[in-house]
Amino acid sequence: MQSSHEEDRELVIKAKQGDEKAFELLVKRYMRRAYFMALGLVGNHEDALDLSQEAFVKCYRALSRYDERFTFYAWFYTILRNHVLTFLRKRKRHRRTFVDVSEEVLEWRDPDGQTPESSLEREEFSKEVWRAIMELDPEHREIIVLSHFENLQYEEIAALLGCPMGTVKSRLYRARAALKEKLTARL
């Protein structure tokens, strides 16, 4: 049985040879993950959708530069991350600040059997947490999303970000502390 990395590698090879269906399969495999990653960083459904789609276009155009030593997703994530960070820098310059946490992100908030009151309290708390996350620096926001929403291990985050595992741990520590400070001030 082939590993996901080997399957991705074969699809990239085919896509480089002009097989659009092969690239389509890669997009289908990672589009949901890319969308939620972008959403976690920008906090807006429409922007996240646009950014993730644009990142796939950039990825397709850059296929000739794909380095097979890395997993496809790690390589694609670098493209997505850079694209989103560029967007955030531009948005900051234009001083547009907003948070539109979509229902998809908050799906986990409403487990079966809750009373309407507790469900509403949980929803409000979830929104406050997301507002606080969106106030974090992009570097802190990214590490929180990778760790707590993508459920990646330190090693996986280090590979995606291209930094040592110790750096991941210290960034995550600082991000959690900053988030705790924001939440303490809010609640």
Is the separation of the CB atoms in 161 and 172 below 8 Å? no
pLDDT higher at 158 or 94: 158
Average pLDDT, the chain: 83
Q: Is residue 7 part of a domain?
A: yes
Looking at the chain, the whole-number percentage of residues with pLDDT higher than 90 is 44
- Given pLDDT bands bounded at 50, 70 and 90, which one contains residue 162? confident
- For residue 164, tell me if it sits in a domain: yes
- 175 band by pLDDT with thresholds 50, 70 and 90: very high
- In this structure, the answer to whether residues 20 and 86 fall within a common structural domain is yes
* pLDDT reported for residue 109: 44
CATH number at residue 41: 1.10.1740.10
Do 8 and 88 belong to one domain? yes
Number of alpha carbons in the 13 Å side-chain half-sphere of residue 35 = 15
Confidence of residue 115 (pLDDT cuts 50, 70, 90): low
- Which residues, other chains included, contact 179 with Cβ-Cβ below 8 Å and sequence gap of 6+? 132, 133, 136, 140, 144
Same domain, 80 and 135: no
Q: How many domains does the chain have?
A: 2
- What is the pLDDT, as a whole number, of residue 149? 84
Tokens of 95: 């001083």
CATH of the domain at 184: 1.10.10.10
Are 42 and 64 found together in one domain? yes
Domain end point (choices 73, 102, 131): 102
Residue 107 lies inside a defined structural domain of this protein: no
| Close Cβ partners of 42 (under 8 Å, ≥ 6 residues apart) | 48, 51, 84, 87, 88, 91
Q: What is residue 110's predicted lDDT score, i.e. its pLDDT?
A: 47
pLDDT of 186 reads 72
Question: Is residue 4 in some structural domain?
Answer: yes
- Say if residue 63 is in the same domain as residue 152: no
Residue 108 has pLDDT above 60, yes or no: no
On whether both 31 and 71 belong to a single domain, the answer is yes
- Res 24 pLDDT > 50: yes
Residues 11 and 50 in one domain: yes
145 and 67 assigned to the same domain = no
Sorting pLDDT into bands at 50, 70 and 90, what band is 23?
very high
Average pLDDT over residues 161-167: 91
Instruction: State which residues form the domain around 38.
Output: 1-102
Residues 125 and 90 in one domain: no
Which of the two residues, 116 and 4, has the higher pLDDT score?
A: 4
Please state, in angstroms and rounded to a whole number, the distance separating the CA atoms of residues 22 and 122: 42
> Residues 11, 89: one domain?
yes
Residue 109 inside a domain? The answer is no
pLDDT tens figures, 48-88: 999 999 999 999 999 999 887 788 998 999 999 999 999 98
Confidence of residue 15 (pLDDT cuts 50, 70, 90): very high
Q: Which of 156, 38, 159, 155 is nearest to 105 (CA)?
A: 38
- Token pair recorded at residue 109: 């908030």
* 78 and 18 share one domain: yes
**Domain-embedded: residue 130:** yes
Higher pLDDT, 178 or 2: 178
State whether 8 and 95 are in the same domain.
yes
What's the average model confidence in pLDDT over 147-158? Answer: 88
Per-residue confidence (pLDDT) for residue 177, from 0 to 100: 94
